[in-house]
Amino acid sequence: MFRAECAEGLLCSVPAVLVAAAYIEIWYFGDISSCGYASRPSSSVISMSESSMHLLDPAPFGRVIPAMVTPMHHDGSIDFEASAALARKLVASGADGLLVNGTTGESPATHMDEKVELVQVVKQTVDVPVISGAGSNDTAHTVRMVEQTQEAGADAVLVVSPYYSRPSQEGIFRHYQAVNESADKPIIVYDVPGRTGVHLELETYCRLADLEHIEAVKDATGDIAGAVRKRMETGLTWYSGDDALFLPFLSIGAVGIISVIAHVASYPMHRLADAFDQGDIHQAQRLANRLAPLVDTVNGTGFQAVLAKAVLHERGWLDETMMRLPNVGPKEPEFKRARQGMIDAGILDA
């Protein structure tokens, strides 16, 4: 155990792993970062009083944010009434933010007018931050999506790095620069090289951090070491974009997660975050391990949007699981897999 100074000069015992995480910038980065900034005092440094300590920074867009599916009628049209009902259910079950028009929401197959209406409906329904996906590999189209979804009421926009065409780092920066110039709400950078085919380099992150509206990152790189350095050197707010890495990302300074399993697991995920925040690492580990079967169920096949609708159906929160091509809605094997995953994770009774 390390000894750390508490309020009024008292000494408190703190698990060594927490002190190491809290002060990682001291020994890892030194005085000057490669972004050219003097190392900043980290708000993740352990804050203590006689009775409590907190390890997590505030989460500006929510701590546990489901990447919400888009309910559809059997003919493939968006069911806005069911979307509102689902949004209410997700918030009532623990979500303190929502992402609409993301990949799990089938955004590649929905149209601009539908995206706008979905933002309006969900924003009018719930009293939590509503983030809208607004990304494309066409910069001009991305700018239009950002403008229209912000006008519709989105509290922030999630902008994926340009995909498929594999632009240079300069091209990626200019893409976000154009988006920044059109934005009047916060922008969350979505870094997911497994889908985009491009990696955002540290120097690019440093330049993005200087843009007025770039405030946060959804990190789905799977690169914990890289995330440590990028977060510490840019000062951006960090969110895990990978259900399997929620706890590891919390340990290096992330404030929360944009999640697929949170459709049915927001409450236990909040318990996990709260346990970590209070320094109860063993409880956080137990909760992460308990959720592991559900993580594997939803993410293990690579068809997260399909399995997300399957778990919602088996939970009784989504009647129609229709999806637009090229996605094909879940069938009996997916429903069976979804139900078993929730049973194994303690979400449903056997």
pTM for this prediction: 0.89
pLDDT at 302: 84
Binding site members: 104, 258
The answer, yes or no, to whether residue 24 has pLDDT greater than 60, is no
Summarised one tens digit per residue, pLDDT across range 260-283 is 999 999 999 999 999 999 999 999
pLDDT at position 53 is 65
Which residues are annotated as part of the binding site for pyruvate?
Answer: 104, 258
From the CB of residue 10, how many other CB atoms can be counted at a distance below 10 Å?
11
Q: What HEC string does 146-190 produce?
A: HHHHHHCCCCEEEEECCCCCCCCHHHHHHHHHHHHHHCCCCEEEE
* Stronger pLDDT, 294 or 24, i.e. the higher one: 294
Just list the catalytic residues: 190, 218
Spatial contact of 261 and 67, defined as CB atoms under 8 Å apart: no
| Structural domain boundaries in the chain | 2-54, 64-280
CATH class of residue range 64-280: alpha beta
Phi, psi of 38 (to 5 degrees): -65, 140
CA geometry: angle at 316 spanning 311 and 317, to 5°?
80
Q: What pLDDT was estimated at residue 301?
A: 86
* Mean pLDDT (whole number) for 185-194: 97
Task: Specify whether the CB–CB gap between 102 and 127 falls below 8 A.
Answer: no
* pLDDT band for position 54 (cuts 50, 70, 90): confident
Q: How high does pLDDT run on average in the chain?
A: 89
Rounded Cα distance between 144 and 331, Å, is 36
